[in-house]
Amino acid sequence: MKMTTKDSYNNCLNTIYHLRRYGIILGLDTIGKILQGLGNPQDTFKSIHVAGTNGKGSIASALATILHIAGYNVGLYTSPHLVRFNERICINNRQVSDEDVVASYEAVKSVHNGSREPTFFEFATAMAFYEFGKQNVDWAVIETGMGGRLDATNIITPALSIITNVSLEHKTYLGNTIAEITREKGGIIKNKVPVVTGVKQKNAILVLKTMADSKSAPLHRFGDTFRVRRANGSFNYFGLENVWRNMHTGLNGTHQIDNAALVLASCEILNKNDLDLTLQNIKDGLVQNRWPGRLEIVSESPLVLLDGAHNFIAARNLAVYLSETLSNRNITLIIGILDDKPYASMLKSLIPCCSKIILTRPKIDRSLPPDKLYPIAKKMISHIQIIPDVDNAVIHAVESASPKDAICIAGSLYVVGEAKELFEKNPAILSKNP
């Protein structure tokens, strides 16, 4: 029986999903050999490299949107995906097709002959770069997976490097201090390639400055060489050479204004290097930018909000949004957290904003059992339930909510992904209150 495209698609994804998630990190040799076998597609397009703890995807997506509006053919590589693998590889803001995924998988599979099996992320990165080369993108905006120095994406030599911010994360792989983690993320800095950053800690700034100086890379820091001032729902940008007033971002949350500042500084630098991004291109791109699963409202009655909030900073940003924007509503928080996250501090940030909490658990093997979260949550809130299955937790919350209530689904992008998939398959769940 002839294999269908759907069969081929499912088979190739099943294969790469069974590759090691991280494995022994040996550097860039494996990804380098794969890409060499593919003809080094990463050398056929210009790129922007984005690392950091939070805001990577929002910033990368905004830049890709702006470049596309300006008339460029643009690739965008991000991770993780929420529902479908194809989300990771976009061209001109559209996910690649299943046929493209199969073709890029077959191409990478055909050239790999190294001594070490590639990790999942190495294989996916090679697929993305192959697809960008095949579709002749002018620019690609590339988000690191984890860290920077040894991340598979660091095989590129970008026109611009962005390091959003730094906090303690992935300590097993990146280090136990802010300085150590900053060195790993700062590993994307290349010789004479300008750097835009939003890091705020003094020791992190010192590390980045030292690394940038050693490579003669101009360093532009938010709060130093560029800044913003909020003004009644908009903001003014005071940049490297420009002052842009009455700017808006299409993403919810005051922290997205800080992310937008990094985007605008990046646009200024790109324009210095012979790009032609007009102010209207930039304004339109910021407003049109969408980034799923980050303060994403999927229903108004009841209000259902999806936000990954997968680490302490992201949880704190979500808590600010809930307290400032939804303080007049009864909020049910559905939360599941992975085992490498600071779950106690995340819960302490979010629970005070909510009237009810449902503890759940995404299907990924790194998720914490709700029983682990319960003792901490119980100290802060009395109305608490454990519903381990995400789908059941969401359905229960929606059925129990009044039209004026709010439901916030958070704690992990995997929780958000399962909720989004549920809503896509069963849209009637969100229409119980017409």
Higher pLDDT, 114 or 93: 93
* 114 exposure class (CB count in 10 Å sphere: 0-12, 13-18, 19+): middle
Kindly tell me if the per-residue pLDDT of 314 is higher than 60: yes
Q: How far apart are the C-alpha atoms of 64 and 300, rounded to whole Å?
A: 29
- CATH value of 5-288 in 3.40.190.10, 3.20.20.140, 3.30.565.10, 3.40.1190.10: 3.40.1190.10
Cis peptide before 80 (omega within 30 of 0): yes
Cis peptide before 302 (omega within 30 of 0): yes
Handedness of CA 3, 8, 11, 15 (dihedral sign): positive
Q: Write the pLDDT tens digit of every residue in 319-329.
A: 999 999 999 99
Phi, psi angle pair for 419, to nearest 5°: -65, -45
At residue 113's C-alpha, the angle toward residues 108 and 115, to 5°, is 125
Read off the tokens for 218. 């101009």
Kindly tell me if the per-residue pLDDT of 340 is higher than 60: yes
> pLDDT at position 231, please?
87
Q: Write the pLDDT tens digit of every residue in 369-400.
A: 999 999 999 999 999 999 999 999 999 999 99
Read off the tokens for 389. 């299955």
Enumerate the domain spans of the chain. 5-288, 296-431
Least confident of 104-108, 229-233, 415-419, 430-434: 430-434
Q: What is the DSSP string of 300-351?
A: ETTEEEEE---SHHHHHHHHHHHHHHSTTS-EEEEE--BTTS-HHHHHHHHG
pLDDT band (50, 70, 90) for residue 135: very high
pLDDT band (50, 70, 90) for residue 45: very high
Domains 5-288 and 296-431 share a fold: no
> pLDDT at position 146, please?
82
> pLDDT at position 2, please?
55
24 sits in which H/E element: none
Taking residues 303-315, report their average pLDDT: 94
224: helix, strand or coil: coil
Q: With beta carbons less than 8 A apart as the criterion, state whether 341 and 332 touch.
A: no
Kindly tell me if the per-residue pLDDT of 168 is higher than 70: no
Beta strand ranges found along 312-405 (DSSP E): 331-335, 356-361, 384-389
> pLDDT at position 356, please?
97
Report the percentage of the chain scoring pLDDT > 70: 95
Mapped to the 3 state alphabet, what secondary structure does 115-153 carry? CCCCCHHHHHHHHHHHHHHHCCCCEEEEECCCCCCCCHH
> pLDDT at position 217, please?
98
Q: How far apart are the C-alpha atoms of 326 and 333, rounded to whole Å?
A: 12
Kindly tell me if the per-residue pLDDT of 171 is higher than 70: no
Kindly tell me if the per-residue pLDDT of 24 is higher than 60: no
Q: How far apart are the C-alpha atoms of 187 and 140, rounded to whole Å?
A: 19
Taking residues 331-351, report their average pLDDT: 95
Residue 411 half-sphere exposure toward CB, CA atoms < 13 A: 34
Kindly report whether the global pTM for this prediction surpasses the value 0.85.
Answer: yes
The β-bridge partners of 410 are 307, 335
> pLDDT at position 27, please?
77
49 sits in which H/E element: strand 46-51
Q: How far apart are the C-alpha atoms of 373 and 415, rounded to whole Å?
A: 15
Q: What is the average pLDDT value for the chain, to the nearest integer? A: 93
pLDDT band (50, 70, 90) for residue 434: very low
40: left (phi over 0), alpha (psi -120 to 50) or beta: left
Kindly tell me if the per-residue pLDDT of 172 is higher than 60: no
CATH class of 296-431: alpha beta
> pLDDT at position 20, please?
75
Report the candidate in 60, 292, 56, 289 with the shortest Cα–Cα distance to residue 165: 56
Kindly tell me if the per-residue pLDDT of 113 is higher than 70: no
Taking residues 55-69, report their average pLDDT: 97
